Amino acid sequence: MTQVLKNWIGGAWIPSASSATENVYNPATEEILALVPLSTKEDVDLAVQTAKEAFKAWSRTPVPRRSRVLFKYQQLLVDHWEELARLVTLENGKSYSEAYGEVQRGIECVEFAAGAPTLMMGKQLPDIASNLESGMYRYPVGVVAGITPFNFPMMVACWMFPLAIACGNTFVMKPSERTPLLANRLAELFQEAGLPEGVFNIVHGAHDVVNGILEHKDISAVSFVGSQPVAEYVYKTASNHGKRVQALAGAKNHSIVMPDADLDLTVKEIINAAFGSAGERCMACAVVVAVGEVGDILVSKLVEAANRITIGNGMEDGIFLGPVIRGSHKERTLKYIDIGEKEGALLLRDGRNDAAAEGTGYFVGPTIFDSVQCGMKIWEDEIFAPVLSIARVDTLEEAVELANRSEFANGACLFTQNGSHVRQFRETIDAGMLGVNLGVPAPMAFFPFSGWKKSFYGDLHANGTDGVEFYTRKKMITSRW
């Protein structure tokens, strides 16, 4: 019988109050791996009350002691690195080497969080006036909730709970219902590291759990990562309920290629950024903007390289491109390929024709459109699949102008050997994460990370010192002695 997952509440596996479930698939084989419960608001409330109770002791646990649990957790994650990477590939479909790299990004978040004694420090000014001193102290905010997407089950979860917990908060996480398995393992290992019961909790499910979180009076802050419409909804609803919110949203990232770019490097980076993780990255390259005479040679090299991509089960050696997450997502992607053709874009490589796209598993081969214009649906919408659009312009100004017309502004890259191009790009492009001569400006645990415009709702970004600000509140004390 297929296993029904349970919620992790108070350091134990607790069945959901609901009997409704959804299938969790291996997207490479269509095999059902488990059933995820569609938990209820009552399940959320049980987790929140447990976290609220645990907050009393955890928030008062000396910071170096909290930090020691994070150090132990880091070691356990390193010890289980391969197991965790296999779980990511199993439920998400990305290649094992991509999954291995993702686990590294997650571990780095735990390493950053283990610096809590330094990160939590306040500030003092000994004389704001004669005999008057002032100081700022940092405290946790309370019960924090995290809602995650399917595409980085390890990394995105680790942007949230390790730092929040190191700062003294307790946590309720709602993992993506499409990739819930890894989260459970993260919880077990945290307990093994010595985390007290109730500090980290998981409630599995979909909309009802999200709404239960957004409306819950005992949750102080919500971190969300997912698609744009849901991010906007989460931001507005949670703010209306008096919570601080950071909601990281969708993307349509442009990579600009100048005529002086190192073409071999550029092609290698773009192929990885467009088709790695099946294009299901918020930092994926969705649009290449070829400037001037580089266009024709770049396009032919991209198609050549795309033809060499190995497609299949990410668990097997040598596979680069795994499946997309679900059959419904594959259907949606195929519709976009139809739309692109109808809009008049030039279909240079059709991923519907790859053998893997015909068989079992939710595979779509690498797809490349040329002559894509601003205003086409395939330029405008986040497809979130291995579909790359190429647009052609004459100057860097035009390239930046095109990218800036997108409603999204998560990341953008430039390929060039010219420093003044880099400066012009940096100063004029709308995007939160920039890359120069690389395809994926990946988020790092120790720097703040987020996009601009419709790619982000909130003030304080994820990770780095912004993360510390988000998960703490400040108290000022002015004293006369």
User: Which residues belong to the active site?
Assistant: 282
Q: Is 177 in the site for ligand NAD (CB under 6 A)?
A: yes
* Member of 282, 287, 306, 400 binding ligand NAD (CB under 6 A): 282
Q: Is 387 in the site for ligand NAD (CB under 6 A)?
A: no
- Secondary structure E strands in 226-291: 244-248, 253-257, 285-291
Taking the mean position of all CA atoms in its chain, how far away is CA 450?
10
Smaller CB separation from ligand NAD, 215 or 341: 215
Q: Is 171 in the site for ligand NAD (CB under 6 A)?
A: no
Scanning 63-71, 109-117, 143-151, 299-307 for contacts with ligand NAD by CB under 6 A, the matching segment is 143-151
Q: Is 161 in the site for ligand NAD (CB under 6 A)?
A: no
Judge whether 331 is annotated as a binding position.
no
| H helical segments located in 276-326 | 295-307
* Binding track, positions 232-271, relative to ligand NAD; x by CB under 6 A: ----------------xxxx--------------------
Within residues 1-40, the interface with ligand NAD by CB under 6 A covers none
3-state DSSP assignment of residue 279: helix
Which residues, in sequence order, are CB contacts of 461 under 8 Å at separation 6+? 246, 432, 448, 449, 450, 467
Judge whether 236 is annotated as a binding position.
no
Contact 269, 437 (CB under 8 A): yes
**Nearest in space to 285 (alpha carbons), one of 267, 301, 298, 303:** 267
Smaller CB separation from ligand NAD, 154 or 299: 154
Judge whether 232 is annotated as a binding position.
no
Judge whether 415 is annotated as a binding position.
no
**Nearest in space to 142 (alpha carbons), one of 57, 15, 52:** 52
Q: Is 330 in the site for ligand NAD (CB under 6 A)?
A: no
Scanning 98-106, 118-126, 145-153, 349-357 for contacts with ligand NAD by CB under 6 A, the matching segment is 145-153
- How many angstroms separate the CA atoms of 451 and 139, rounded? 27
Judge whether 380 is annotated as a binding position.
no
Q: Is 206 in the site for ligand NAD (CB under 6 A)?
A: yes
- How many angstroms separate the CA atoms of 268 and 58, rounded? 47
369: left (phi over 0), alpha (psi -120 to 50) or beta: beta
Within residues 430-469, the interface with ligand NAD by CB under 6 A covers 451, 455
> Exposed e or buried b for every residue in 307-321, given b needs 16+ CB within 10 A?
eebebbbbbeeebbb
- How many angstroms separate the CA atoms of 174 and 182, rounded? 12
Q: What number of chain residues touch ligand NAD (CB under 6 A)?
A: 27
Binding site for ligand NAD (CB under 6 A): 147-152, 156, 174, 176-177, 206-207, 210, 225-227, 230, 248-251, 282, 382, 384, 410, 451, 455
Q: What residues are designated binding site for NAD(+)?
A: 150, 174, 177-178, 382
Q: What residues are designated binding site?
A: 150, 174, 177-178, 382
